[in-house]
Amino acid sequence: FGIHVLLVVAVTLSPVTAEAQSENDVTGEDVYPPLWDLAPGNLLDFPVKDNKIVINAWNYQDRLGVYKSLLNASAKYFAAFGPQNSGNILWGLPLQHGWQFRTGRLADHSGVTSCGYENGELLCQSVRSWWSCMNYYLAIIPFLGAVEAGLFGQLPYEIEILPPEEQKVDFCYSVKDCWSRMPKLMDEWKTFFEYLLSTEHTAVSSDSFSSFKLDDALGLMWKAHTTSIAYALPRFQDRLKYLSDPEANFGEDWANAVDFIAATHFSTDLLTTNNFQSFLPQRMLVEGDVLPSISDFSPEQNKVLVSLRVLHKANKLTGGLLLKIWQKAMSTEAGRKLGRKLIESLASS
């Protein structure tokens, strides 16, 4: 039965197997999220006020700095997996966020403010943006989980996350606050970072992280990642109304697809994520965009969007059974390897 569902998903995804286009080659600065070099890379690079490190999570550069701090603090655990921290599996988070910023998905789509627009506050992230709100749970929550786990050691200051101007109740703003409001989610991110820390403590020497198992780390990270999405998805349904129908559908299709990707323990290192993201839409979808023939999208991008739509519909029609069967098929190392090959075929060159 597990093999059967693999074949079903393979057939669903098969049209998107294509050559990566030359303009999407990941070389040079394009590998990193926009403004990566300008983002704070250390927690002490953020402003300190009243003995607190103050982070404005509704500013793209600050939120990017949260990711950069996570990448830098965890770099030593991934040294064996690629030069210059390229093998770090946390790259998937800032790269996805950078794609959201570059494609205008973090702006205010309600038309009320100029937040996130070039003629307004370009670095502003709108609390009315579905993508920005969803991402909060994949940025600030992992970060605070890492703080709690001790990834940054003993910090000289507490962390304060500034709230948005509205809808403040939808978010939490400190380790204590988040822990009291969403303990399961915080615990899963803390567990992932504690796993990284535990491999350091059990290693033979500081240069050898011999007990580190990439598959274990990926499993814990994806578990926390999917829990973040599951927690955030129902909370931000009301933000979808600001999006076009095609964009809202794509957002939900993408959130659904992440569950399937997660089950394979897909590696979210720098290059793999970049290759994969080249097949995502490079602008927001608008009314009048009809799949599979959006004229300014490549055939591969059109086909990926169709595949995501079909996968979501099939999963809904089966009441989530398709995902359960897929997860069962992915419960072995061999199954996950086959699943990853299917997904990697999306960005094969």
pLDDT for 41 beyond 60: yes
**325 belongs to a structural domain:** no
Asked if residues 162 and 58 have their Cβ atoms less than 8 Å apart, the reply is yes
**323 belongs to a structural domain:** no
**194 belongs to a structural domain:** yes
Distance (Å, whole) CA 250 – CA 294: 13
**324 belongs to a structural domain:** no
Grouping H, G, I as helix, E, B as strand and the rest as coil, residue 59 is: strand
Sign of CA dihedral 33, 87, 250, 343: positive
State the pLDDT at residue 157.
94
pLDDT > 90 fraction of the chain, expressed in percent and rounded: 81
**57 belongs to a structural domain:** yes
**Global confidence as pTM:** 0.90
Q: What confidence category does residue 204 fall into, taking pLDDT thresholds of 50, 70 and 90?
A: very low
State the pLDDT at residue 211.
64
Task: Provide φ and ψ at 285, rounded to 5°.
Answer: -80, 145
Q: How many domains does the chain have?
A: 1
Q: Whole domain around residue 83: which residue ranges?
A: 2-318+330-347
pLDDT for 5 beyond 60: no
Amino acid residing at 151? L
**22 belongs to a structural domain:** yes
pLDDT > 70 fraction of the chain, expressed in percent and rounded: 87
**38 belongs to a structural domain:** yes
**108 belongs to a structural domain:** yes
- Contacts by 326-332 with C-beta closer than 8 Å and gap 24+? 326/5, 326/6, 326/9, 326/260, 326/263, 327/263, 328/1, 328/2, 328/5, 329/2, 329/3, 329/5, 329/6, 330/263, 330/264, 330/265
Average pLDDT over residues 258-280: 94
Q: What confidence category does residue 342 fall into, taking pLDDT thresholds of 50, 70 and 90?
A: confident
